[in-house]
Amino acid sequence: MAAAAPERPTYRTIPILALSTSELEALSKSMKLSLSGADMEAVRAYYQEQGREPTDVELEVIAQTWSEHCKHRIFSARIQHTRDGKTEEIDGIFKTFIRKVSLGIMDSKPGFVLSAFTDNAGFIEIDPGLAACLKVETHNHPSAIEPYAGANTGLGGVIRDILGAGKGAKPVASLDVFCFGRPDTKPEQIRAKDVIHPLGVMRGVVRGVRDYGNRMGIPTVGGAIQFDDTFCYNPLVFCGTAGIIPSSEIAKEVIPGHLIIAVGGRTGRDGLKGATFSSGALGTDSHEEDQTAVQIGNPIEEKKVSDFVLSAREQGLIAAITDCGAGGFSSAAGEMLSETGGEIILDQAPLKEPGLLSWEIFISESQERMVLSSAPEKLPALRKLADVYETELAVLGKSDGTGILKVKHHGHMVCELDCRRLHEAPRLDLKATWTTPDWQPLPTLNEATAEADLREILGDFAIVSREPVIREYDHEVQGNTVLKPLAGATGDAPQDGAVIRVDGSSRLLALGLSLLPEWGKTDPYAMGLACMDECVRQLVLCGANPDKIAVLDNYCMGNPHDPAELGGLVESARALAEAAVAYGTPFVSGKDSFYNYFQTEDGPVSIPVTALISGIGIVEDAKHVTGASLRSDDSVLCLLGTATGDLGGSVYARRKGLTAQRVPVGDPVAAAALYRSTHEAIKGGLVLSAHDISEGGLAVTLAEMAFSLKAGIEATLPDGPPAMVQLFSEAPARFVLEVRPADVETLQEIFADHAFTVLGHTTSAHRRLKIAGTQRPVIDADIAGLKEIWKSGLAAWY
């Protein structure tokens, strides 16, 4: 035994060769490996081949690597999908609907996407030599159990993704999207013990994001909050960060002989088994038992790491880098050594406390750590830089070209795995079904209540201003924010997306996003089309070139082993693929989160299938950024697009209790053409402001545009569907443009092939929103009064 050996061994051998499948399953359960019987059989087969028993370290590594969180096994599964009685086989959702589709789009746009699906985040070109990336992660399970810390480390984690993208991208903006239960949920509605009330979840999550993002000095420029009872037990927390990097620094390579180096925070027992924990469902016990899976963030530690990484990259000291996220060193070093193989010495990892077991060190997800690979001769310069930025650096091992991952601790080989085999998780076979609901006919709607309905909707949790939350985020740090989350002449009106300047370029970056879980409840296919549409539309209305947009998909759903739930996922993925082709917007990255269901006293509660589509677009000139608020009291308002007669999924339908209403199904091909024309109009300087029609419908769009208090509005609805449908339909591919009277004719030409309607005009005569139906006036309301309803709605709860 080596002199430094501890009193007790820090690893053990786990006999599995002689175990039956049910005993293997029991073992997986007792060790909390989250591996299925089939997985465990595959593990047993590997060790039969090796002629030995595994160590606990090896089983933990395999469990982390094969977890849903790391391996996306549902997205890779073979699925028998039955749609309204017709069955087809889907050879993996990711492969079929995301990867293949995106590669096809990329082929048609050479030079735009610089990297996709291979790195922490995909990259697009801003200018020759300069690239941008975006990554969005979910942190749902941790945020359910410990909202502040869960969201805190969620943002911290995605920022590290960007620091580990390429040879280290600079984080420049963040997005945060949440789905919570309703703030006014009555305590007795919560049918399980220890579940945190939505208000507590919301306050904790927002503060968690605030305290990490603000301290890191990354502006939180965009986001969304959805409130629905279905998110009461399983809140969703999406954290996204965009980064910038010189294009020449995107490619990275681990070279045999290079050192594997850890930098940043120390390793401790916090954050054990996060990846496997998040790959299962939550239950009441989770609130007691899984606390060690959630960690506390230390943003200043990460800020030091960030300063170190960006300087090291600029000085050419990094050959490859990745973040320590789920799975800790096992996943970071495992990923880095996946081709070359190499050796890691756990004794060299700086620890928070003595006495950690081998597996604990190797899979701990302690925050604020990065792993990089560099030539040995760069080590002195790296050490010096770590001193300058007051962060800790340790050489963990080196790559060696053997293809075998070897982990040593106290002189013992505690893990020895074939890297290639490590990534061969058995493929799942799943069943999915989708049955189109029986839609109910739309009842006759009462126009007389239009104005009261608008007031109600403006005060609905779906619509009310997010100002109390937004003000807690620093959205101005870095000094590059051009289009802010709240803007317009009064600085507090809602916008369609965010735009930031890019250091070293005259071009700007636009960020947009969409999620419509309400649509997912009844028509996930329509939801998929609409999410992509809304995201692209936002970016175009913010000034982005529609041909320079890339998107990310973040799926969340309940139980993927329930065929009806999985069917919804398949339908929405199919729609997203169709939409991506039509808009020419490739997916460059994505992440999914399953098992968002909860065992309550009344049975399991699942979230609706939810897709967050976030997009990054290039704005070629700052002049193309107009904002979504009225700028003139002598302008014309034009409506683009037509409302269908469908009100399903709308805030109006929800409030009126209209169920089984058909959800609007968009036409992405027509919409893509419309957005190209729109970009022409914006480029020609013909647009004063532009606002999309989304949640709440046209009435809310006009009211929100008027919240700049620059002008009153006089509008008349065109012939077509009933006034109430036109006012409150949330059909996609529609928006309102504010233009100069002299430009209307030119715009009519530009939009000759599209539904273009002059809706009315702005006026200095009053500050009222006046909307007339074809027969009679339907809304005549004081704008300041409407704004007050909208502005104060969330403040009371936050």
Q: Classify residue 690 as exposed, middle or buried by CB count within 10 Å of its CB (0-12, 13-18, 19+).
A: buried
Query: What Rg, from alpha-carbon coordinates, does the chain have?
Result: 27
- Shortest Cβ 735–another protein spacing (Å): 17
For another protein, which residue of 486, 510, 715, 724 counts as binding (CB under 8 A)?
A: 486
From residue 621 to residue 640, the character string flagging contacts with another protein as x (rule: CB under 8 A) and all else as - is -x--xxx---x---------
| Residue 258 bears catalytic tag | no
| Residue 561 bears catalytic tag | no
Q: Is 299 in the site for another protein (CB under 8 A)?
A: yes
3-class SS of residue 367: coil
For another protein, which residue of 424, 476, 782, 788 counts as binding (CB under 8 A)?
A: 476
Please give the torsion angle defined by the CA atoms of residues 339, 341, 342 and 343, in that order, rounded to the nearest 10 degrees: 130
Query: Among the options 139, 258, 409, 410, which is catalytic?
Result: 139
Q: Which residue has the tokens 């037990």?
A: 233
Q: Is 296 in the site for another protein (CB under 8 A)?
A: no
From residue 501 to residue 530, the character string flagging contacts with another protein as x (rule: CB under 8 A) and all else as - is x-x---------------------------
Per residue, what are the HEC states of 451-497?
HHHHHHHHCCCCCCCCHHHHCCCCCCCCCCEEECCEECCCCCEECCC
Q: Is 538 in the site for another protein (CB under 8 A)?
A: no
Question: Which range in 1-9, 60-68, 471-479, 726-734 contacts another protein by CB under 8 A?
Answer: 471-479
- Shortest Cβ 477–another protein spacing (Å): 6
Q: Using the minimum distance from each CB to another protein, give the nearer residue, 596 or 689.
A: 689
Q: Is 471 in the site for another protein (CB under 8 A)?
A: yes
- Shortest Cβ 458–another protein spacing (Å): 21
Residue type, 396: L
From residue 186 to residue 225, the character string flagging contacts with another protein as x (rule: CB under 8 A) and all else as - is ------------------------x---xxxx--------
From the list 623, 12, 667, 741, the residue with the least C-alpha distance to 357 is: 12
Could you tell me if 586 and 115 are in contact, meaning their C-beta atoms sit under 8 angstroms apart?
Answer: no
Q: Using the minimum distance from each CB to another protein, give the nearer residue, 15 or 741.
A: 741
Q: How many CA atoms lie less than 13 Å away from 451 in the CB half-sphere?
A: 17
Angle between helix axes 563-583 and 100-108 (nearest 10 degrees) is 0
3-class SS of residue 239: strand
For another protein, which residue of 482, 510, 605, 771 counts as binding (CB under 8 A)?
A: 482
Q: How far is CA 443 from CA 446, 645, 795, in A?
A: 10, 11, 35
From residue 658 to residue 697, the character string flagging contacts with another protein as x (rule: CB under 8 A) and all else as - is -------------------------------x--------
Identify the H or E element spanning 553. strand 544-556
Please give the sequence-ordered ranges of beta strands (E in DSSP) within 36-167, or none if there are none.
78-83, 86-91, 113-115, 122-127, 130-138
Q: Is 477 in the site for another protein (CB under 8 A)?
A: yes
Q: Is 387 in the site for another protein (CB under 8 A)?
A: yes
Query: Among the options 69, 412, 691, 761, which is catalytic?
Result: 69
Q: Is 148 in the site for another protein (CB under 8 A)?
A: no
Report how many residues bind another protein under the rule CB under 8 A.
Answer: 42
Q: Is 478 in the site for another protein (CB under 8 A)?
A: yes
Q: Is 413 in the site for another protein (CB under 8 A)?
A: no
Q: How many CA atoms lie less than 13 Å away from 302 in the CB half-sphere?
A: 33
Per residue, what are the HEC states of 640-676?
ECCCCCCCCCCHHHHHHCCCCCCCCCCCHHHHHHHHH
Beta-bridge mates of residue 409: 412
Q: Is 135 in the site for another protein (CB under 8 A)?
A: no
Angle between helix axes 783-792 and 450-458 (nearest 10 degrees) is 40
Q: Which residue has the tokens 């998110």?
A: 231
Q: Is 479 in the site for another protein (CB under 8 A)?
A: yes
Q: Is 390 in the site for another protein (CB under 8 A)?
A: yes
Q: Is 307 in the site for another protein (CB under 8 A)?
A: yes
Q: Is 304 in the site for another protein (CB under 8 A)?
A: yes
Question: Which range in 122-130, 297-305, 439-447, 584-592 contacts another protein by CB under 8 A?
Answer: 297-305
Q: How far is CA 498 from CA 128, 486, 532, 583, 640, in A?
A: 23, 9, 17, 20, 22
Could you tell me if 626 and 543 are in contact, meaning their C-beta atoms sit under 8 angstroms apart?
Answer: yes
- Shortest Cβ 471–another protein spacing (Å): 5
- Shortest Cβ 701–another protein spacing (Å): 18
Residues 310-369 interacting with another protein (rule: CB under 8 A)? none
Q: Is 162 in the site for another protein (CB under 8 A)?
A: no
Question: Which range in 120-128, 348-356, 386-394, 752-760 contacts another protein by CB under 8 A?
Answer: 386-394
**Positions in the binding site for another protein (CB under 8 A):** 210, 214-217, 298-300, 303-304, 307, 387-390, 470-482, 484, 486-489, 491, 501, 503, 622, 625-627, 631, 689
**Catalytic residue numbers, as ranges:** 69, 139
